[in-house]
Each structure stands twice: as structure tokens, then as C-alpha cells.
Amino acid sequence: MAQCQNLDALAYWGTPACRRRAMDLAERTGVPLFSLEEGFLRAYAEHEGLPSLSLIVDDLGTYGDALSPPRLEALLNEEASPLKGIESKADKAMHLLMSERLSRYNDAPDLDASLLSCDARERVLVVDQAWDELGGKAGQHAPSFQDMLAAALAENPDATICAYTPHAGRSSRDHESGALTEHDGGERVVVLHKQVNPWSLLESMSRVYTVGAHIGFEALMAGLPVSVFGMPWYAGWGATDDRLACAHRVRSRSVGELFAAAYIRCSRYLNPVTLEPGDIFDVIRWLARQRRVEGRIEGRRIMVGFRCWKAANLGARLSLLPTRLARVADARKAERLGLGPRDALVLWGRDTPPEISSLAVRTGARLLHMEDGFVRSVGLGSEMVPPRSIVLDERGIYFDPGQASDLEYLLNTHRFTDDELERAERVRSWIVQHRITKYNVEPHCVPDWDTQGREVVLVPGQVEDDASIRYGTNAVRTNLGLLEAARTAHPEAFLVYKPHPDVIRGGRQGHVVFSETFDLVDHVETELSVISCIEACDTVHTMTSLTGFDALLRGKRVVTYGEPFYAGWGLTDDRAADAKALARRSRRLNLAELVAGTLLLYPLYWDPVLHGYTSCEAVLRRIIQERDALMARTGLVHKRLGYCRRQWRKLKIIHRSFVWGKRFSR
């Protein structure tokens, strides 16, 4: 008891035995006791890496136990309507759930109509439940299920009865056996063994029978009559056909009132963007995004030729479900997986081995090229820092002008909405205000360059063997050549050269011998961030660097010598000759349209805390928090992290990739 002193409250989660121990301790210590249960909008899937986004905290009982009336029941028994004051909010949330087809878990596919009896004039859903769902819940025993099935057959003599077990087989536990598993219902009973989206299932039904499954309430929202043989939280209020009496539920409540009480007043939600308390709409938006992004590829994602550490860093960004991921070394091993049109072969970068192209054609599998996004991380990719954004391109890749990429096609054809343009302007302002870049590894200060009032021209260096140089420029292909071109264009300007961080650290090609630049460069900047340099300059000259895009965001003049993704839209001064990509870009864009396509619609953004797809705005927020915390500790300049610390971080990533590779490599 000594260690239980100074407690403000106790909370329990779990079995009846856990509850009894918590109640005993609460009685002895005299502190309040609360039960915790997951809410009705939990996560994309039941997987240990996907935390719950909603929670029900109850000081009276648990909503799943009819013998111990919970706070939800007390609220519904009050004289005042739980809808009062939130009518429009509840109505909007309920309709969004149905239109977005969201449930407690959201990874199941829509119903395949071939699984049902095609010639049935009427279909009735009988909801089975897995045995481990039933333990300890009042009224939920095998006889209830047998009575329910018998009633469904007797009361619907001309209907096909569809027996379905929600959540069976979702986790590693043995969920497969349900209360009706061994029942032989004859020709009129169709048993659905596969998980399906509940809304797609309910669309094919005219009536629902259940003992106490939550899909029964979803059926009420869908406007179906529901017969209940147990006593779930939504029964006993006059909205259902109840086969058990519940004397202590004394009010008549509409479906809207039940929804308002359970989903809004008694549920707590996490805002996935801020990781602070939120509301139901925050979770609806998050889950809808997970379904939309995950649904872009129906089948497996096979990473071909990825190094193990890179696959470990990027695999989760390809799918929320580990069962849909695989890593193979080459086309021969990929072919052994029995590919089909639902699957996707994923390659890093631009190059496609001929045997992979041939395999995709033979099997119908999609071919996707993967790269880092434009707002990537706090830290360099060469240091194995996982990205917070990626792009998956089916036409090409954004840095290769040899063929139109998905980004180029989007910018050429998409009709931008007012909402997208407003978001783009907010994102642009946020990036400029907080000085966000792709890697965010350098400190921000006002340069003390002695410009003597001259025009300031910034020349950002690039990694010369980078794919964007190899494929994106012809005449000017080296940092020295770029400096010469910039000096020729601005003979009187104050010219600043900023080498690429990876080149400075000796990891990549592109070093310029400074003795060769005495007549070209007024200052070589190796300490300040590229954003500090952009803010202090008037013009940027670049081959294909993302610095040109950063400069456009900040209203600077940009001169390009290659064919970067942001050139050719009327926003840059383009010097490349015979540029086929620039000729393809026939549309004139304003800056908001370029930002909307490039930062909002093209990339995928990743939240490593919630293990899910998030928004550009959320990633910007997290990068600012992480960068500022690192700045406070280390000054942020990458070399100040120390050689040993960087190597230790690499070793941890390599170890994680070894564990990951054993699980997913084929």
C-alpha cells in the first residue's frame, strides 16, 4: 500500500479479473476508478504498430458490459437529449463516416458480390462473433446465437441468410472460431469467411440480426432494421428490435442521439496532426487518408534491389500492413512471388533493369519509381536518416526530364481548387517563415558578406553524379561550369558559392578546387544554411538544384541551366537549349499552383510516431519541433553531432534493417 499513496485516480484496461483487482485497490485507497476502452473509430488496422486514435474513459463501468451500467448509459437515461447543441456536428460526422466508409478498423476490402447468392431477392445479415469477443459479456453466449439464426430463418422465409463474423482472424490470436462456426444452415445460409468493409456488406442487406456486435449500430446508421438478441450499448432505447428486456434503460432515443452520446460526448480523440486532444473530425480525416493512400495499390508492394537499410527505412511508407510488403534482390526472385495486376514492383530512382520491365509486362504488375520528397527530414539521406516524405511515380520520376513524370502530368493537367490554392499559400508562408528546407541541418543567421551594395548571386553546388544532373542537364553539368556561367551572366555581381553538404563532408562527387574559383567567386559559404543564403541574395543560378524551388518560394529570381521540375512553367529564366521537357510544359502556372502540385498532391507524407500517412502541414510542424530541439542541444550543424554519434546511429539503423530484412526478404 505504501507505493499506492498520493494517487489521484486509478484506471484499468482489460479483463474482468483486471477490473476486480482495480476495484479492490480503489476501495482500499479511496481514489476514483476509471475504465479505459478503445473508441469506435480506432485505427486503420488492428496492428501493434498502429496506435488507437480514440478512447472511452468511464467512471461507472464499461460500455460493453450490460450488467454494470456505464457513463454512456447514464447519459442516454438523462432527460436532456445528448444531441442538444451539437445537432449539426453529429449529423455531419455520421454522414462522413458513411460516405468515407469508416469503421473501427478500416483495412478490409469492399465486399465481392460474387461471394453472395446472385439470384437472392432478399438478403439478411446474421452477425456471428468470435469466441474471444464473447468472454465475460452479459447475454452473449452460444444459445443466443443459435436462437438468433433460427429466428432469422423463420422470420425471413424467402431470404438468403448471410452469416458473417466481424474481426475474425485480424490478429495473431485464434479468432477463427465463432459461435456459429459449426452450424449447418442448409442451402439458405451463405457463410462469409473473408473480412469485408462493413458498409459495403450492409449495402447488400435488407435486415440485420446480431447478439451485440458493433456492426449492428452501423446498420442502424445505414437505415436498416436491426434485431438484437443480447444487450449491447445501443439496444433498449427503442431504435432496435430487442429480444431481451432491459428495465434500466428508460428513455427512447433516436439513432442520431445514440451516435451523439457514444461517438461525440463519451469518446475522446487524438488529433493525429498535433498529437494533442482533438475531435471526431480529426480522426475521420486521418483514417480517410489512410484508406485513400493505402488503396492506391491493391496488392503487394515488392521492393526490388533495395539495400537492406534503405528497405527498412522505407518499407513502412509503402504499406501500413506488413503482410503487403516484400523485398527481393532481382527480377528472378520477384517472379517467384506469383505477381499479378494488383501488385506493384517498386524501384529506387530512375533506372529500370530490362528484366524488371519485361516482368511487369508479362504479369501486369505496376512499375513504380520511388524517391525522397521535397521536404525530407532533419538530417541527410547519406546518414541513413529516414525520410518523412516520398514520391511514387508510375510515369517516370520528377528529376528525369527524358519522359513526363506524374508530377509533370499533374502540373500540366490538374484543375486546382480554391481550397488547394489556399492550402498551398499557407504552406508556402509557413515554409518561408520557419526557414524549412529539404534536410534542415544547418543554422540560420544573417550573412555578414561585404557585398558593397552589389547584386548578390547565389550559386548552390550539387552532387555531380546525382541523377538529377545525369539526366536533367546537358550544356552545364559541373559546379565549376555553373560558376562560370553565372559569372558570365553577372560580371559585376557579388557571387556566393555554397557547396552541397554531402560534397563538403567528402561523401559525394562535386568538389570544386577553390584555387580555380578566385576569379569567379567572391565568397564560399560552408557554414550558413542555404535558406540564409537565399534570403540574402537577389538571384539564384542553378542546374537542377532544389534550391531553385526554395528560392521561388521566397520570391527570388531563378535562372536554370537544366530542366528541373519547377522550370518551364513561366516562373523561371530557363537557359537550357533543345530542352524537350520544357517544350512539353505548355501551361503557365502561378506560384500557388506550382506549390500545390509539388508539395500537396504529388508526395506522400509519413508520421513515424503514429505510423501512418499524414499531411504536408503535419510534417512541417514535426520538422520544426525536431530541428529546434536539436538546435538547442547541438547547434544543429551536422559535424557538431560528432563522428562517433553519427556512426552509432548508422549501426542502429543497420541492426534494425537486419531484423527487418530477415522478415521481409524473399
pLDDT, tens only, 333-385 = 999 999 999 999 999 999 999 999 999 999 999 999 999 999 998 877 666 78
140 in helix, strand or coil? Answer: coil
Q: Say if CB 163 and CB 194 are below 8 A apart.
A: no
For residue 546, the model assigns a pLDDT of: 94
Position 184 scores a pLDDT of 56
Strands 604-607 and 389-393: antiparallel
**pTM as predicted:** 0.88
Cβ distance 196 to 225 under 8 Å?
A: no
**Closest of 203, 244, 206 to residue 226, by C-alpha:** 206
**What domains appear along the chain, each with residue ranges and CATH number?**
1-31 (no CATH), 86-170+177-271 (3.40.50), 437-598 (3.40.50)
Q: Which cell numbers in the block locate residue 129?
A: 462473433
Tell me the three-class secondary structure of 526-549, residue by residue: CCCCHHHHHHHCCEEEECCCHHHH
Spatial CA neighbour of 179 closest among 209, 230, 134, 227: 134
CA torsion through residues 439, 425, 615, 294, sign: negative
Chain CA centroid to CA 299, Å: 17
Distance CA 539, CA 494 (A): 11
* % of the chain residues with pLDDT over 70: 85
Residue type, 70: P
266: confidence class by pLDDT, cuts 50, 70, 90: very high
Region 293-322: mean pLDDT is 93
Residue 614: phi, psi to the nearest 5?
-130, -170
The answer to whether 540 and 572 are in contact (CB under 8 A) is no
Strand ranges inside 279-343, DSSP E: 301-304, 325-328
Mean pLDDT on 493-501: 90
For residues 501 and 499, give the distance between their C-alpha atoms in angstroms, rounded to a whole number. 6
DSSP SS3 for 367: strand
pLDDT above 70 for 104 = yes
85 sits in the region (left: phi over 0; alpha: psi -120 to 50; else beta) called left
Long-range contacts of 658-663 (CB under 8 A, 24+ apart): 658/308, 659/312, 660/308, 660/311, 660/312, 660/315, 661/308, 661/311, 661/312, 661/327, 663/322
pLDDT surpasses 70 at 407:
yes
The three cell numbers locating residue 197: 468493409
Do residues 215 and 208 touch, judged by C-beta distance below 8 A?
yes
Residue type at position 321: L
Residue-wise pLDDT for 173-226, tens only, equals 444 556 665 555 567 888 888 899 999 999 999 999 999 999 999 999 999 999
For every residue of 193-258, DSSP letters joined together read -S---HHHHHTT-SEEEESS-THHHHHHHTT--EEESS--TTSSSSSSEESS--TT------HHHH
pLDDT of 644 above 70: no
Q: What is the CA radius of gyration of the chain?
A: 30
Most confident of 122-136, 341-355, 641-655: 341-355
- CA dihedral (21, 22, 26, 31) in degrees, to 10, reads 170
- pLDDT value at residue 138: 36
CA distances from 659 to 63, 309, 384, 417, 651 (A): 40, 10, 16, 44, 13
Average confidence (pLDDT) over 236-257: 95
pLDDT in tens, 619-632: 999 999 888 888 77
Say yes or no to pLDDT of 267 above 80: yes
Please report the pLDDT score of residue 640 as a whole number.
46
Beta strands across the sheet bearing 207-210: 189-192, 160-164, 123-127, 207-210, 226-228, 241-242
Judge whether residue 283 has pLDDT over 70. Answer: yes
